[in-house]
A and B are shown apart, each in its own frame.
Chain A
Amino acid sequence: GQQVMQIPQYQHVQEGEDFTTYCNSSTTLSNIQWYKQRPGGHPVFLIQLVKSGEVKKQKRLTFQFGEAKKNSSLHITATQTTDVGTYFCAASGAGSYQLTFGKGTKLSVIP
């Protein structure tokens, strides 16, 4: 299956600071998806990126897909306590039904 590396594994920020998590692959991705898992919950789909260089925004969240379609990032501006959780990227190989998840970045927000 597709391999995706995600960094950092943990991030502690003061409320109001920005946060970024990165996802990298050694091969070209057809698309990449991002999910959020709140503590004790299940992963919930946030967004999918398909095009090279694509940038999408959801309020304070900005998602980018690299020009070579081998990396992606999620940036949160001015974090809030409601942003706490683990953020995962996920990708499939071309033509594959498998969806492989990165190990996730666990975000803690200190009030």
Chain B
Amino acid sequence: NAGVTQTPKFQVLKTGQSMTLQCAQDMNHNSMYWYRQDPGMGLRLIYYSASEGTTDKGEVPNGYNVSRLNKREFSLRLESAAPSQTSVYFCASRGRRDSAIGFGSGTRLTVV
């Protein structure tokens, strides 16, 4: 039981390049989330998926797209990376709407 698994752990992109961050959970959770963490800004919600087949924007969705591929997997795509997207990205999941959220170990992304 690995919990929430994110890949890759580190990535360096050039401005304008695209990439997809992968996330999978093995806890049969309904809801999945993508957050970004920047110094002094806390954790900001990018997108979330309340259940398989649905996705919704969070606080900072611009420049990102998501896909809830199935119940286990929720990917985050940067179509044209910008230096402002340099951040640590966390995927998370939870079973019920009011339950605790479990995080992956994060992806540290640098856009140069």
- Residues of A at the B interface (CB closer than 8 Å) are 1, 6, 9, 30-31, 33, 41-45, 48, 88, 90, 92, 95-104
The prevalent SS among residues of A at the interface is: loop
Contact between chains at A98 and B48 (CB < 8 Å): yes
Contact between chains at A1 and B59 (CB < 8 Å): yes
Contact between chains at B58 and A1 (CB < 8 Å): yes
Taking CB atoms and an 8 Å cut-off, the chain B residues in 13-62 that contact chain A are: 31, 33, 35, 40-45, 48, 50, 56, 58-59
Provide the bound-state CA to CA distance between A43 and B90, in Å: 9
Provide the bound-state CA to CA distance between A75 and B106, in Å: 28
Complex contacts, A48 vs chain B, CB 8 Å: 98-100
Contact between chains at A97 and B59 (CB < 8 Å): no
Q: Assuming the A-B contacts A1-B59, A97-B31, A98-B48, are A45 and B100 also in contact, with contact meaning beta carbons closer than 8 angstroms in the complex?
A: yes
- Residues of B at the A interface (CB closer than 8 Å) are 31, 33, 35, 40-45, 48, 50, 56, 58-59, 90, 94, 97-106
Contact between chains at B42 and A42 (CB < 8 Å): no
* A16 CB, min distance to chain B CBs, angstroms: 28
Q: Assuming the A-B contacts A42-B104, A44-B103, are A30 and B98 also in contact, with contact meaning beta carbons closer than 8 angstroms in the complex?
A: yes
Complex contacts, B44 vs chain A, CB 8 Å: 101
* B5 CB, min distance to chain A CBs, angstroms: 12
Contact between chains at B103 and A43 (CB < 8 Å): yes
Q: Please pick, from B42, B90, B94, the residue contacting A104 in the complex, using a CB distance under 8 A.
A: B42
